Amino acid sequence: MATVTEIPPFTNEAFLDWNDPENVRQMEAALEDLRSEFDRTYPLIIGGRKVTEGERDTARSPSEKDLVLGHTIRATAGQARDAIEAAEEAFRTWRKVPWEERAEYLFRTAEALRERRFEFAAIMVYEVSKSWVEADADVAELIDFVEYYAREALRLGQPQPVVPNPGEQGHLRYVPLGVGAVIPPWNFPAAIMGGMTMAAIVTGNTVVLKPAHTSTIVAAKFAELLVDDIGLPGGVINFVPGPGAVIGDVIVDDPRTRFIAFTGSKEIGIRIHERAAKVHPGQIWLKRTILEMGGKDSIVVDETGDVDAAAKGIVAAAFGFQGQKCSACSRAIIVDDVYDEVLEKVVAGAKRLTQGNPTDRSNFMGAVIDEKAFGKISEYIGIGKDEGRLVLGGDVKSPDETGGYYIPPTIFADVDPDARISQEEIFGPVLTFIRARDFDHAMEIANNTEFGLTGALYSTRRDRLDRASDDFHVGNLYLNRKCTGALVGVHPFGGFNMSGTDSKAGGPDYLLLFTQGKSIAERV
């Protein structure tokens, strides 16, 4: 079994080169191969046992709303409790498995994901309408999480030194918490889903995984990979998809649940936090919540910034994956001197973006996730027409006309900093331009929301870059680059205020959230 000294240093997984004909061939083959599985039903996994009977939920593609991708068994409240019981039983032995052995499961998982990289990317092209580039980046990030957390486990699994005390031998040990609920989002259905799951598992916890209802297929395949291919012991991971109203509250409220790792909206995050705070009969701990929530992220450009670079960064950050990232740029705060120039360049760049079914690799943008999101974003576009000057987009066609939930890039200019489209998370391809009098005013606007996830500043003045480092109140700040695209290990990710508990996924502190410290001192 590998030791700390035998493991090479962590490096981020390289993205696939789509100019390579072989990569294109393999991706096209993966997309075609998946079509033969579209009528498959994926089982629940509880205690290592696959449950194939029960009511089914059908997964459809947002790009082709009538295209059925597969089915999952809908877990009942009773099955959610069974999953917690199975996880509780497995925890008794899994917590005692050496850290090195648990890390070895992760290294094997990373290797299996590399072998099935095109398959997992292709699933996301169909299931959440990711472009080839975005889907591959999602798989690469999952591999990064798995590799990084395996190495972190090897580091944290060693006895941690403490200050010596004469006559005693002492150390600090990190021990697992127990049964955890992992409730991931649909927008990074491989990376975040798998990252939270493997962080919990490698630290000795057991997991009840309830995926987002719009991205169940990729989670089902990942759970099967862990059980069938990697050979995780039964009950270490339990896969129970189903409506939050039916099983989500059951999992969060159960006194046997020790922690909840969640990524999603502010509203659901607050609800989980509130419910987790209640101590139920038989519960002997305060539940821990690890919450990654929303954002209303800004890119600031001052009069000294590189206007061309800023415009490219804004377009990529606002419209990549249809703006459906908590880190997406939804506000461009531009100092008056360069406002018109930046706006003109961003509009021109957005006009060049291609949109359509992402099975065609030439399309930069696909569809938004579902009918509910389509309706919400459309409503905000209507609000924006009253709150700002529409300079691009705004003409949203019916899904019945296009066949999918397509919303084109939409930009509103001259919007008040306190307007609804400046303050509320839209989670779609809608960008607000806000004019600032000067840099001081721009910084004031940048900090005027309840969120604090990502932000960026384009400037050539050192004093302003330094000031943003101190005063731009976000968990992930980027200087002279776009505000999306965090890399595991390079940019530990998590935000302030209503953006969550600043969990810093992919950073050296993250695994500590899934453990508790135990100080051991022995008189000698």
What positions carry a catalytic annotation? 292, 326
Please provide the distance, in angstroms rounded to a whole number, between the alpha carbons at the two ends of the chain: 32
In the β-sheet with 476-479, what is the strand arrangement from edge to edge? 389-392, 410-413, 430-436, 329-335, 297-301, 454-458, 476-479
**Distance (Å, whole) CA 264 – CA 248:** 13
Token duo for residue 515: 């453990």
**Distance (Å, whole) CA 188 – CA 186:** 6
Three-state SS for 101-152 is HHHHHHHHHHHHHHHCHHHHHHHHHHHCCCCHHHHHHHHHHHHHHHHHHHHH
In the Cβ-directed half-sphere of 522, how many Cα atoms lie within 13 Å?
A: 4
Q: Write the CA distances from 200 to 197, 343, 353, integer angstroms.
A: 5, 44, 39
Asked if 497 contacts 425 with a C-beta cutoff of 8 angstroms, the reply is no
Single-letter residue type at 148: Y
Distance from chain centroid for Cα 363: 22
Give the ranges where 2-76 is alpha helix by DSSP (H).
21-35
**Distance (Å, whole) CA 318 – CA 315:** 5
